[in-house]
Chain A
Amino acid sequence: MRWRGRKSSKRVQNESLQPHAAANPDHQPISGSILADLAAVKESIGHNSDVRFREYRFGPDKIPIVVVYVAGLSDKELINDYIVNMLLMDGDGRHINNHELRDYLFDRAMPICELKEASTINSFTSSVMTGAAGLLVEGVAGGFTFGESQVLKRNMEEPPSESMVRGPRIGFIESLSHNTALLRRLAKTDSLAITSYQIGDRAKKEVAIAYISDIVDPKLLEEVKRRITRIKIDALQESGYIEQLIEDDFLSPFPQVQNTERPDRVLAAVLEGRVAIFLDGTPFALIAPVTFNMLLQTPEDYYERWMIGSLIRMLRYLTAFISLFTPAVYISFVSFHQGLIPTKLVFSIAASREGVPFPPLIEVLIMEVSIEILREAGLRLPKAIGQSIGIVGGLIIGEAAVQAGIVSPIMVIVVAVTAITSFSIPQYNAGIALRMLRFIAMFFAAVFGLYGVILFFLLLGAHLVKLKSFGMPYLSPVSPYRVKDWLDMIIRAPLFLMKKRPDQLQTKDQTRK
Chain B
Amino acid sequence: MNRLPADRISTSQTTIILINMMLAAGILTLPRVATEKMMTPDAWIAVIVGGLISMVIALIMVKLCEQYPDKTFYQYNQVIVGKTLGSIISLAVVFYFLLLAALEVRVMAETTGLFLLQGTPIWAIIMPFIWIGLYLTLGGINAVARLLEIIFPITVLFFIVVVFLGLKIFELDNLRPVLGMGIKPIIDGVPATALSYSGYEIILIIYMFMQNQEKAKKVVLIGIGVPLIFYTLTLVVIVGALSVEGVLSQTWPVLTFIRGYEITGLFFERFDSLLLVIWIMEIFSTFIVSYFAVAMGLAQVFKKDTKIFYWGVLPVVYLIAMTPKNINSLFAFGGWISKFGFVLFGTIPGLLLLLSYIRRKNT
Q: B-contacting residues of A (Cβ < 8 Å)?
A: 336-337, 339-343, 345, 448-451, 453-455, 457-459, 461-463, 465-466, 473, 475, 478-481
Q: A462-B143, A478-B150 are in contact. Are A451 and B136 (CB under 8 A)?
A: no
Residues 262 to 308 of chain B near chain A (Cβ within 8 Å) = 264, 266-270, 273-274, 277-278, 280-281, 284
* Other-chain residue from B116, B120, B129, B151 in contact with A461 (beta carbon distance below 8 A): B151
Q: How many chain B residues touch A (Cβ–Cβ < 8 Å)?
A: 34
A481 CA / B146 CA spacing, docked (Å): 8
Q: CB-CB < 8 A to A458: which residues of B?
A: 132, 136, 147, 281, 284
> Which residue on B lies nearest to A480, using beta carbons?
B146
- Beta-carbon contacts of B129-149 to A below 8 Å, as 1s and 0s? 100100110010001011101
Q: CB-CB < 8 A to A461: which residues of B?
A: 147, 150-151
A65 to chain B, nearest CB (A): 63
B125 at the interface (CB under 8 A from A): yes
A424 to chain B, nearest CB (A): 21
B117 at the interface (CB under 8 A from A): yes
B82 to chain A, nearest CB (A): 38
Given contacts A339-B270, A453-B277, 15 further A-B contacts (CB under 8 A): A342-B268, A345-B267, A450-B273, A459-B135, A461-B150, A462-B135, A465-B143, A466-B136, A466-B139, A473-B146, A475-B150, A478-B150, A479-B150, A480-B12, A481-B13
Q: B268–A340 contact, CB under 8 A?
A: yes
Main secondary structure of the interface of B (DSSP, over half): helix
Residues 178 to 209 of chain B near chain A (Cβ within 8 Å) = none
- Beta-carbon contacts of B229-263 to A below 8 Å, as 1s and 0s? 00000000000000000000000000000000000
Q: A340–B280 contact, CB under 8 A?
A: no
Q: A478-B149, A480-B13 are in contact. Are A451 and B268 (CB under 8 A)?
A: no
> Which residue on A lies nearest to B151, using beta carbons?
A461
B329 at the interface (CB under 8 A from A): no
Q: B116–A455 contact, CB under 8 A?
A: no
B347 at the interface (CB under 8 A from A): no
Q: A451–B116 contact, CB under 8 A?
A: yes
* Other-chain residue from A342, A455, A475 in contact with B128 (beta carbon distance below 8 A): A455
Q: A-contacting residues of B (Cβ < 8 Å)?
A: 10, 12-13, 112, 116-117, 120, 125, 128-129, 132, 135-136, 139, 143, 145-147, 149-151, 264, 266-270, 273-274, 277-278, 280-281, 284
| In the complex, the 6 A-B pairs of residues with the closest C-beta atoms, listed nearest first | A465-B146, A462-B136, A479-B149, A466-B139, A479-B146, A450-B277
Q: CB-CB < 8 A to A473: which residues of B?
A: 146
The 7 listed contacts between A and B (C-beta, < 8 Å) are A339-B273, A340-B268, A451-B116, A453-B277, A455-B128, A463-B135, A465-B146
Q: A480–B10 contact, CB under 8 A?
A: yes
* Other-chain residue from A340, A454, A455, A481 in contact with B269 (beta carbon distance below 8 A): A340
* Other-chain residue from A340, A475, A481 in contact with B274 (beta carbon distance below 8 A): A340
Q: Which of A341, A454, A459 has the most CB of B within 10 A?
A: A454
* Other-chain residue from B132, B139, B273 in contact with A337 (beta carbon distance below 8 A): B273
B211 to chain A, nearest CB (A): 11
Q: B116–A341 contact, CB under 8 A?
A: no
Q: A448-B117, A448-B128, A457-B281 are in contact. Are A340 and B13 (CB under 8 A)?
A: no
A340 CA / B268 CA spacing, docked (Å): 6
Q: B12–A462 contact, CB under 8 A?
A: no
Q: Which of B135, B150, B270 has the most CB of A within 10 A?
A: B150
A343 CA / B266 CA spacing, docked (Å): 12
A345 CA / B265 CA spacing, docked (Å): 11
Q: B267–A342 contact, CB under 8 A?
A: yes
A327 to chain B, nearest CB (A): 16
A152 CA / B37 CA spacing, docked (Å): 86
A461 CA / B132 CA spacing, docked (Å): 10
Q: A455–B146 contact, CB under 8 A?
A: no
Q: CB-CB < 8 A to B284: which residues of A?
A: 458
B149 to chain A, nearest CB (A): 4
A479 CA / B13 CA spacing, docked (Å): 9
Q: CB-CB < 8 A to A475: which residues of B?
A: 146, 150
* Other-chain residue from B266, B267, B269, B280 in contact with A451 (beta carbon distance below 8 A): B280
Q: CB-CB < 8 A to A481: which residues of B?
A: 10, 12-13, 149
A377 to chain B, nearest CB (A): 34
Q: CB-CB < 8 A to A345: which residues of B?
A: 267
A342 CA / B267 CA spacing, docked (Å): 7
A463 CA / B149 CA spacing, docked (Å): 14
B196 to chain A, nearest CB (A): 24
A345 CA / B270 CA spacing, docked (Å): 13
Q: A462–B273 contact, CB under 8 A?
A: no
B286 to chain A, nearest CB (A): 13
> Which residue on A lies nearest to B138, using beta carbons?
A466
Q: CB-CB < 8 A to A449: which residues of B?
A: 116-117
Q: CB-CB < 8 A to B273: which residues of A?
A: 337, 339-340, 450
A341 CA / B139 CA spacing, docked (Å): 37
B153 to chain A, nearest CB (A): 9
> Which residue on B lies nearest to A466, using beta carbons?
B139
Q: CB-CB < 8 A to A341: which residues of B?
A: 267-269
> Which residue on A lies nearest to B269, using beta carbons?
A342
Q: A465–B147 contact, CB under 8 A?
A: yes
Q: A465–B280 contact, CB under 8 A?
A: no
A450 CA / B125 CA spacing, docked (Å): 12
Q: CB-CB < 8 A to B269: which residues of A?
A: 340-343
A512 CA / B142 CA spacing, docked (Å): 30
Q: A340-B269, A458-B281 are in contact. Are A451 and B117 (CB under 8 A)?
A: yes
> Which residue on A lies nearest to B112, using beta carbons?
A451
A134 to chain B, nearest CB (A): 53
B306 to chain A, nearest CB (A): 16
Q: Which of A448, A453, A463, A479 has the most CB of B within 10 A?
A: A479
> Which residue on A lies nearest to B148, using beta carbons?
A479
A438 to chain B, nearest CB (A): 18
Q: A449-B117, A451-B280, A457-B281 are in contact. Are A462 and B147 (CB under 8 A)?
A: yes
Q: B117–A459 contact, CB under 8 A?
A: no
Q: Which of A339, A341, A475, A481 has the most CB of B within 10 A?
A: A481
Q: A454–B135 contact, CB under 8 A?
A: no
Q: B147–A479 contact, CB under 8 A?
A: yes
* Other-chain residue from B129, B149, B264, B268 in contact with A455 (beta carbon distance below 8 A): B129
Q: CB-CB < 8 A to B143: which residues of A?
A: 462, 465-466
Q: CB-CB < 8 A to A455: which residues of B?
A: 128-129, 132
Q: A341-B267, A343-B269 are in contact. Are A465 and B139 (CB under 8 A)?
A: yes
Q: A340–B270 contact, CB under 8 A?
A: yes
A459 CA / B138 CA spacing, docked (Å): 13
A340 CA / B115 CA spacing, docked (Å): 11
Q: CB-CB < 8 A to B149: which residues of A?
A: 478-481
Q: B116–A336 contact, CB under 8 A?
A: yes
Q: CB-CB < 8 A to B112: which residues of A?
A: 451
A457 CA / B132 CA spacing, docked (Å): 10
